[in-house]
Structures are given as C-alpha cells and as structure tokens.
Amino acid sequence: MRSISIFGATGSIGESTFDLIRRSGGAEAYRTVALTGARNVRRLAEMARELRAEVAVTAHEAELPGLREALVGSGVEAAAGAAAIAEAADRPADWVMSGIVGAAGLVPGMRALRHGGMLALANKESLVTAGQLLLATAQAHGATILPVDSEHSAVFQALTGEDGGAVERVIITASGGPFREWPLERLAAATVAEAKAHPNWSMGNRISIDSASMFNKALELIETREFFGFDPAMIEVLVHPQSIVHALVGFRDGGIMAHLGPADMRHAIGFALHWPERGHLPVERLDLARLGSLTFEAPDDRRFPALRLAREVMALRGLSGAAFNAAKEIALDHFMAGEIGFLDMAAVVEDTLDAVSAETALTMPAASLEEVLAMDHLARIRAAEQARKRIEGR
C-alpha cells in the first residue's frame, strides 16, 4: 500500500488532495502517515480520523488541547509546533504533498525529500527561497519533485518526451486577477475584499491577493527558472483571462505545446498523485465550442511592478529569492491588516531588497538551509521597518 502525508491538509490545496485520496479509495487504498494544519484543528482531526493517519500536527502549540480532544479514541497521535511539523516530515512516506502556504513550507519539504520519495510541490515559496538547495537535496537522496502549481505542472507535461535543449521559450499564463483592467490610480485604493475576489480560481486568501498584485506570477517566474533551469530571458508571462491555457512551451522549430484544462487544482494535484501514470480525475471536461474564444494580452509591468522585481531576482539569484519572498509575506500581512495600501506592497518589497542588499551580498548562493532561513529572518525585519515607514507616512 502506498503511504502518503499531506502538509497543509486543511488548506485549499490540502482539501483538494484529500478529496482525490478519498475518491481513489481513502484509507483502504493509502496508508496515511501525517496530516498537518494550523488553527482549524476540528477539520484536521476529522480528516485524520477518516484516513486513519498516524499523526496529526497543528502549527500552533495553543491548539494542541483542542486537537487532542478532537482525536480522543481515534488512535491518531497529536502534536503541535513547527518542530513537530518538521518531525512529521521525518516519518517516511512514498508521496508527500507540500501544501503549506509561505516560507513555513520550506523545512518540512526539505526534510521529506531525505526519504527519496515523491514530493508534490504546491509550496512555490520553497523553490523561490531555496531552489538550488531543494533540487540538490532531491538529487542527493534520489527523490522526485513534481510541480503542482498549475502552470508548472503544465510546463512539466508539455516537456514530457521532449528534448529540453530544443526549448526556445516557456510561457506561463496569468488570469490578470480582479484588477486586470484597473488603472493605476484606482489600484492604490484597492481593498482586501476586492483583492481576494479571484475571477477564476478558488484558492487560499494569501495566494488570491498575490494573484491580484501579480506577486503570485512573480513567484512563479522565479519558480519556473529554479525548477526547470531555463534562462530568465526564455521565460514569459502572458495574460489570459479565461485561465484555460496554463502554460505553453515553444521549441526551436517554431512549434508550441500548450496545456489546457479547467481551473481546478485537482488536475495538477491528481497528475502528481498518479504520475507517471494518468489517473481518472473528477475535473470538468472542457467544451471549447461553448467557450468560443480564448484571449491573450501582454502583462503591464507598470501597474504590476511585482513582475519587474521578479526579473531582478531572477538575475541576482543566490539569496535574493529568500529576501524577496519574506518581504512579500510581510508586505502582504500589513496589507491584509489594512495598514498599507495595495501598491505599497511592491514598494515595501523593492525598498527591502535595496536595504538588504546594502548590508549583505544577495547574489551569494545559499550554502545551507540555515543561510536561507537567516536571510528570510533579516528580510522580515527590514520589510517590517519599510512597512512602518509607509504606515507613518500615510
């Protein structure tokens, strides 16, 4: 029986993963090692009971009594805290979903790779902050990383059976989010509720707001560069409001392989779950005649400066991705708290990169996970200072 673990089980990616596991036999078909979550311990316990998990872990110590109570009589162990989540990743599983949001997903993913199984990687922040280390760890332990971000799963699928050397360009699409047509002046006053309302995808709040600001696409540009190793100049972003074409790979003969599918993450998750085979997945079948038309437009770096910043990070590499991601997370926290404006997020990130690069070399490749975490820590402090300046200046 195949063993699995789901990190971030209670989130949007985690629920979709749970749904697919349950549809393909649940506890009868898979041996569940670990499930992790954060505040929603009732849901975590419910999932752990159903899949008969070995252990359920909440990120928060304060939630442990609640988790224990919800698991009474189930035989599922309960644990809490970041260290317990990392320890859960030390328990071997054949297939692990990395579905925690933010840099918190990095350590568990790294630890899971040491068993040499498969890591289904939804947590793009791992590749942005520590891409080279992550790939080196996978290689050293014979582990396989399967991209779960829809665009990256699409690129992966379009590359199957192809010669990587014949690739000329890689195009990842972006819906353009809720503010695709908003003028710059209006963007400054965009609210959290407006930013959360993604037109096509149902996702966690943080990634939904990142989609509105295009910080999500910025992370994905870096993710493409790190995971597939293509030169940054070969990687393009294309706005495609219908979110049907997820990515395109262009070859030197002028041909392009595109990947199409409905905006349902269960496709990319299911592809990773059944890889290298193709399983039967419960996603809607496309009716292109009914859709009628698919449209495309160039992204606007002026209204969405995150894309320009991503290009800088792709050129710098080294520790700049860790600084970029940490600054973005802090800026997002302040925006979600209503303390800074929508456009202030990019300004905070840019100012943080400047501040950090003035005190340390961002281009230095990370030699260890500790270096990445130290950069993450430093950038969070600098970003909080930059955010404070913006709050005081308002």
Does 201 participate in binding ligand NAD (rule CB under 6 A)? yes
Does 207 participate in binding ligand NAD (rule CB under 6 A)? yes
- Compute CA distances 4 → 9, 40, 52, 54, 255, whole Å: 12, 21, 11, 11, 38
Query: Could you say which of ligand NAD, Mg ion, none residue 325 binds, taking C-beta under 5 to 8 angstroms by partner kind?
Result: none
The site map against ligand NAD for 129-168 (x = CB under 6 A) is: --------------------x-------------------
Closest by CA position to 374, among listed 319, 331, 334, 330: 319
Contacts of 89 (CB under 8 A, 6+ apart): 5, 7, 34, 96, 107, 108, 109, 110, 111, 112
SS3 283: coil
Residues 61-86, buried b or exposed e (16+ Cβ, 10 A)? eebbebbbebbeebebbbbbbeebbe
Name the residue with the smallest CB distance to ligand NAD. 11
Contact assessment for residue 111 and residue 19, using Cβ atoms and an 8 Å cutoff: no
Does 125 participate in binding Mg ion (rule CB under 5 A)? no
Q: Compare residues 294 and 347 and give the one whose CB is closer to Mg ion.
A: 294
C-beta of 165: minimal distance to ligand NAD in Å? 28
Stretch that binds Mg ion, among 108-116, 146-154, 227-235, 350-358 (CB under 5 A): 146-154
Touching ligand NAD, residues 231-290 (CB under 6 A): 265
C-beta of 279: minimal distance to Mg ion in Å? 21
Structure tokens at 120: 């289904």
Does 336 participate in binding ligand NAD (rule CB under 6 A)? no
Contact assessment for residue 323 and residue 348, using Cβ atoms and an 8 Å cutoff: no
Q: How many residues bind ligand NAD (CB under 6 A)?
A: 27
The site map against Mg ion for 147-186 (x = CB under 5 A) is: --xxx-----------------------------------
Structure tokens at 279: 């399983």
Which chain residues interact with ligand NAD by CB under 6 A?
8-14, 37-38, 59, 85, 99-101, 104-105, 122-125, 149, 201, 203-204, 206-207, 265
